[in-house]
């Protein structure tokens, strides 16, 4: 286990990873892009820092003494805005990669980068592995893949890098099951025939720790075992509560980013990783 670990982007996932690793005795550096969350970071990490990776004056000295690093940057906006996505996955990620490549101290480092299984796009519901080509026709996917390539290009004898492609995240504060049940009997303007990928927050935290311990390199799908369509998933959740079904569209909205794939987690399992939550249909573990 690394003695000094950094988290670039202490949002929902980054904060959970930091909290867990700090409980394991790891010395944590965590970054945020503005002063508003700096006080909160004091409860999560040993060394809270403001770091705007895309800023020409950014101070990347926070990277110098690390043994492990998680890159968990994401746009701050809840809705899609191409300029913000380009600022993060284009400018900021590339600036961070350049800073890692130019670190003044040549010491071993493992880097995990959080990406999205959504880059596979429309695979017509087919089984999809890390060898499946991503959908580069979509601007968001193209930006995400470009960022992945930049991080993976860091691989040297001293730096090992891996990309973890996440499914849609559920867990504390993100109760997707309840959100779906609240839509029971209502019309939802999304294609109910599409299959999405999902993953529990706890398994993301464990996946990052696993990647660090095994010093994984390359691309891995970090998703749970659920491979149901939106309609099948909502039917299962609503039937369990005696609720009417969600009424999904049977077509895509014009210009929508399409994701329809049975994303496989076999490669990560073959490395020895096991899930604590196989799907959101599993019973909630007792405390």
Question: How far is it, in rounded angstroms, from Cα 165 to Cα 162?
Answer: 10
For residue 284, is pLDDT > 90? no
The dihedral over CA atoms of 117, 122, 124, 126, expressed in degrees to the nearest 10, equals -30
pLDDT tens-digit readout, 34-43: 888 888 898 8
**Global pTM value:** 0.95
pLDDT tens-digit readout, 49-78: 999 998 989 999 999 989 999 999 988 765
Contact 226, 168 (CB under 8 A): no
Domains and CATH numbers, the chain: 4-171+197-226+264-270 (3.40.50.720)
Q: What angle do CA 250, 251, 252 make, to 5 degrees?
A: 140
């Amino acid at each position: 286990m690394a003695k000094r670990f950094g988290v670039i982007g202490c949002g929902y996932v980054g904060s959970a990873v930091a909290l867990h690793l700090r409980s394991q005795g790891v010395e944590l550096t965590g970054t945020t892009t503005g002063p508003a969350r700096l006080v909160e970071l004091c409860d999560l990490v040993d060394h809270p820092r403001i770091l705007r990776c895309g800023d020409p004056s950014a101070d990347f000295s926070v990277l110098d003494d690390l043994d492990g690093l998680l890159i968990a940057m994401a746009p701050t906006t809840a809705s899609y805005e191409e300029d913000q996505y380009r600022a993060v996955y284009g400018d900021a990620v590339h600036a961070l990669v350049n800073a890692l490549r130019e670190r003044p101290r040549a010491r071993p480092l493992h880097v995990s980068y959080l990406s999205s299984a959504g880059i596979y796009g429309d695979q017509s519901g087919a089984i999809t592995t890390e060898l499946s080509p991503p959908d580069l026709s979509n601007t968001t996917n193209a930006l995400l893949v470009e960022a992945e390539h930049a991080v993976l290009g860091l691989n040297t004898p001293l730096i090992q890098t891996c990309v973890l492609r996440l499914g849609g995240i559920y867990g504390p504060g993100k109760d997707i099951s309840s959100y779906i049940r609240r839509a029971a009997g209502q019309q939802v303007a999304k294609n109910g025939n599409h299959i999405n990928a999902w993953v529990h927050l706890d398994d993301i935290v464990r996946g990052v720790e696993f990647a660090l311990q095994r010093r994984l390199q390359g691309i891995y799908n970090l998703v749970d075992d659920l491979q149901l369509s939106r309609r099948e998933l909502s039917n299962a959740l609503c039937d369990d509560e005696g609720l009417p079904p969600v009424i999904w569209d049977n077509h895509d909205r014009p210009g929508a980013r399409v994701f329809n794939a049975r994303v496989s987690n076999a490669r990560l399992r073959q490395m020895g990783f096991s899930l604590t939550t196989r799907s959101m249909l599993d019973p909630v573990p007792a405390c």
